[in-house]
Chains A and B, each alone.
Chain A
Amino acid sequence: MVSFVEVVITAASFGAAYALLALSINVIYSTSTVLNFAQGEFMMLGGMLGWVFYSALGLPYWLAVVLIAGSMGLVGLAEYLLVVRPLLVRRAADIAIMIATFGAAYVIRTTAALGMGRVERPAKPPLGQAPFVIGGVPILPQSFVVIGITCAVLVLAWWLYSRTTLGLALRAAAFDPDGAQIVGINVDRLNAVTFAGGGILAGIAGLLISPLSYASPWFGITFAISGFAAAIVGGLGSWPGAVAGGLILGLANALMLRYVSGQWGTFATFILLLLVLYVRPTGIFGERIAAKFGTV
């Protein structure tokens, strides 16, 4: 029983971080329909920068969060302006854009490895390593940090999306980009905003998860597959789907880690994906979105 509770808490911690990454994927996808495969690298970079700012330089945690949000917003914006926008302007095929985002992923990964070292770094958790024991179950303090900050970010994102003019414009552009353009919404500028937002969300996800694993320049692709799997298990473009998909992925990974081995995580993710998509080809919450965007 105790070990089961531990698994659930591990699942919720990883699941929360994957949910943030899936959300960042959906934020970008909803407006531009671009699958940005560099987003796993955004998450990796968030973790690496977290190690630099908090563990190595010893800045206060809140300042590290702010600096990571700021720099990852800029990285997302740069990717949009330098890589994705030129392709959207030329009306390039989806596949050309996907491959170009892989190009961006290579650039980010190599830069991180050259700039911050090619090794795995132990990231310092802000509340320390000593587990809290609640009802006989030892819980890592970082689990509270991950789940707490994720919930706060989700509430903030929901507020932005549903209660502000920017959110209204984002929803309009996601629903009908051409129509939004006609009523005076600058879709190009919104895309820029969503890439910056995607960078921030993924970067924070990376910062949060790094004390639970490590910070390493090679983790981006593993993050990417978990985030994209979470996004499509939940249904591409769906916000509740991102949270549900993230938690399902987190649970699957935690169960594999606890009862099988850490070596088969990606294979398990693939099997899970296959099963979910066999039952629901557009993911759990994805029906409406897929009807609109799902065609080749």
Chain B
Amino acid sequence: MTFAGVLAVIAIPLLSGNGYIVQVASLAAIGAIMAVSLGVLYGHSGQLSFAHAAFYGVGAYTTVVLHTQHGLNFFLSLLVGAGLSGAVAFVVGLPTLRLRGNYLAIATMALQLGISEVFVNAKITGGSVGIFGIVRPTIAGISLESPFAYYVLLVIAAVLVIAVAHFLVHSRVGRGLAAIREDETAAGVLGVDAIWYKVSIFTITAMIAGLAGGLFAYQLEYVSPESFNLDWSIAVLSMVIIGGKKSAIGAVLGAVIVTIVTQLLFSVGELQFLIYGLWIIVIMIFLPDGLISIWQTAGRSTARGTNL
């Protein structure tokens, strides 16, 4: 029943035959991958990252440089892109993940802004202009040139990432992270090596972000630094919070909502970021625990009602 419902929702953009709707749905699918990744990192391990857009960008540029400019196989390019994002996260994670809470927030924000500066100034990224002329690949004889076909690939990727996230959360690593989140000292006493677990999950979620970035580059068919800046990290964090930080379904819902709001705001021109700022403030004030909390609160009051 639920499965059929989900399939129906995924199919709507395809059946609509409308290019704009498919584009928005594609961006929502990419947003969902990002939100699931950050949801695992923040919701399940308690680590904050303002640098997810940077990892996303590293994946995007790497994939484009390898596939479009050097003719490497598309999936191999995506994998190398994800791997490089993971490598950056690993190197940066070793010193920063010893930090707690607010220090980590600022350190990852500095990382994000630092890498954004590399995107703007480096030669290989095409500087502030970016890289044009990206053409969607043909895979096993099937051309993904059409945005409709590419949307199907994005949905498959999102489903796979959700499955990986589910596996991660319920694996040994996930249980270790849950223990660390609740009480790092106690977890340490029980033999959970906190730094190792934190660096692992930081690296893995950065790889997922890198994958999302590679997929995004071929959705837009154009990459430039403003797609990978702090604003995007904040947007993904807002997706995670709107969805309710621990649920994959919530993260997808958050991604869909934020993507639609962002797209609608393009039409208001100069006032776009003013309204966007107000929307973020209002959403944080009225739904600080996410949409999921509405269901939970509803459930709780019903339960209390029966007790009375």
Measuring CB to CB, which residues of chain A are less than 8 angstroms from any residue of chain B?
29, 33, 35, 82-83, 86-87, 90, 92-100, 102-107, 109-111, 113-114, 221, 225, 228-229, 231-232, 236, 263-267, 269-271, 273-274, 277-278, 281-283, 290, 293-296
Among A86, A98, A229, point to the contact of B285 (Cβ < 8 A).
Answer: A86
Given contacts A264-B117, A277-B99, contact A270 B110 (CB under 8 A): yes
Q: Is the CB of B95 within 8 A of A274?
A: yes
In the A-B complex, list the 6 residue pairs whose CB atoms are closest, starting with the nearest.
A106-B277, A103-B280, A270-B114, A92-B288, A107-B277, A100-B284
B: number of interface residues (CB 8 Å)? 47
Specify which chain B residues have a CB less than 8 angstroms from the CB of A113 in the assembled complex. 270
Q: Is the CB of B278 within 8 A of A107?
A: yes
Q: Is the CB of B110 within 8 A of A103?
A: no
Q: Is the CB of B285 within 8 A of A263?
A: no
Specify which chain B residues have a CB less than 8 angstroms from the CB of A282 in the assembled complex. 103
How near does chain B come to A266, taking the closest CB pair, in angstroms?
Answer: 5
Q: Is the CB of B107 within 8 A of A105?
A: no
Q: Is the CB of B277 within 8 A of A273?
A: no
Report the bound CA distance from A90 to B95 in whole Å. 34
Q: Is the CB of A92 within 8 A of B102?
A: no
Q: Is the CB of B103 within 8 A of A269?
A: no
Query: Is residue B12 contacting chain A, with contact meaning CB distance below 8 A?
Result: no
Report the bound CA distance from A102 to B116 in whole Å. 18
Report the bound CA distance from A104 to B280 in whole Å. 9
Measuring CB to CB, which residues of chain B are less than 8 angstroms from any residue of chain A?
42, 46, 48, 92, 95-96, 98-103, 105-107, 109-111, 113-118, 120-121, 181, 230, 234, 237-238, 241, 270-274, 276-281, 284-285, 288-289
Name which residue of chain A comes closest to B104, CB basis. A296
Q: Is the CB of B284 within 8 A of A274?
A: no
Specify which chain B residues have a CB less than 8 angstroms from the CB of A221 in the assembled complex. 113, 230
Report the bound CA distance from A270 to B281 in whole Å. 28
Report the bound CA distance from A90 to B102 in whole Å. 20
20 contacts between A and B (CB under 8 A): A33-B102, A87-B288, A92-B288, A96-B288, A98-B105, A99-B241, A100-B281, A102-B280, A103-B281, A106-B276, A113-B270, A114-B274, A231-B106, A265-B117, A277-B96, A277-B103, A293-B102, A294-B100, A295-B100, A296-B46
Given contacts A96-B241, A107-B278, A229-B106, contact A264 B101 (CB under 8 A): no
Given contacts A96-B284, A104-B281, contact A35 B274 (CB under 8 A): no
Among B107, B241, B276, B284, point to the contact of A277 (Cβ < 8 A).
Answer: B107
Q: Is the CB of B109 within 8 A of A225?
A: yes
Specify which chain A residues have a CB less than 8 angstroms from the CB of B181 in the assembled complex. 296
Q: Is the CB of B101 within 8 A of A295?
A: yes
Q: Is the CB of B277 within 8 A of A236?
A: no
Report the bound CA distance from A107 to B277 in whole Å. 5
Report the bound CA distance from A131 to B106 in whole Å. 37
Name which residue of chain B comes closest to A224, CB basis. B109
Specify which chain A residues have a CB less than 8 angstroms from the CB of B284 in the assembled complex. 87, 92, 96-97, 99-100, 103
Q: Is the CB of A103 within 8 A of B102?
A: no
Specify which chain B residues have a CB less than 8 angstroms from the CB of A264 in the assembled complex. 117, 121
Q: Is the CB of B103 within 8 A of A290?
A: yes
Specify which chain A residues have a CB less than 8 angstroms from the CB of B276 in the assembled complex. 103, 106
Specify which chain B residues have a CB less than 8 angstroms from the CB of A109 in the assembled complex. 273
How near does chain B come to A281, taking the closest CB pair, in angstroms?
Answer: 5
Report the bound CA distance from A273 to B106 in whole Å. 9
Q: Is the CB of B114 within 8 A of A271?
A: yes
Q: Is the CB of B99 within 8 A of A281?
A: yes
Specify which chain A residues have a CB less than 8 angstroms from the CB of B95 in the assembled complex. 274, 277-278
Q: Is the CB of A35 within 8 A of B102?
A: yes
Specify which chain B residues have a CB less than 8 angstroms from the CB of A277 in the assembled complex. 95-96, 99, 103, 107
Report the bound CA distance from A100 to B114 in whole Å. 23
Report the bound CA distance from A295 to B181 in whole Å. 10
Q: Is the CB of B102 within 8 A of A106?
A: no
Q: Is the CB of B271 within 8 A of A281?
A: no
Name which residue of chain A comes closest to B100, CB basis. A294
Of B113, B278, B284, most buried by chain A (CB within 10 Å of CB) is B284
Among B111, B237, B270, B280, point to the contact of A114 (Cβ < 8 A).
Answer: B270
Q: Is the CB of B96 within 8 A of A103?
A: no
Given contacts A100-B284, A273-B107, contact A267 B114 (CB under 8 A): yes
Q: Is the CB of A274 within 8 A of B277?
A: no
Report the bound CA distance from A182 to B230 in whole Å. 40
Report the bound CA distance from A281 to B96 in whole Å. 8
Name which residue of chain B comes closest to A93, CB basis. B288
Given contacts A96-B284, A99-B241, A296-B181, contact A273 B110 (CB under 8 A): yes
Specify which chain B residues have a CB less than 8 angstroms from the CB of A105 in the assembled complex. 277
Specify which chain B residues have a CB less than 8 angstroms from the CB of A114 in the assembled complex. 270-271, 274
Specify which chain A residues have a CB less than 8 angstroms from the CB of B237 in the assembled complex. 95, 99
Name which residue of chain A comes closest to B234, CB basis. A102
Specify which chain A residues have a CB less than 8 angstroms from the CB of B101 in the assembled complex. 94, 293-296
Name which residue of chain B comes closest to A113, CB basis. B270
Q: Is the CB of B281 within 8 A of A95?
A: no
Q: Is the CB of A274 within 8 A of B107?
A: yes
How near does chain B come to A125, taking the closest CB pair, in angstroms?
Answer: 28
Specify which chain A residues have a CB less than 8 angstroms from the CB of B285 in the assembled complex. 83, 86-87, 90, 92, 100
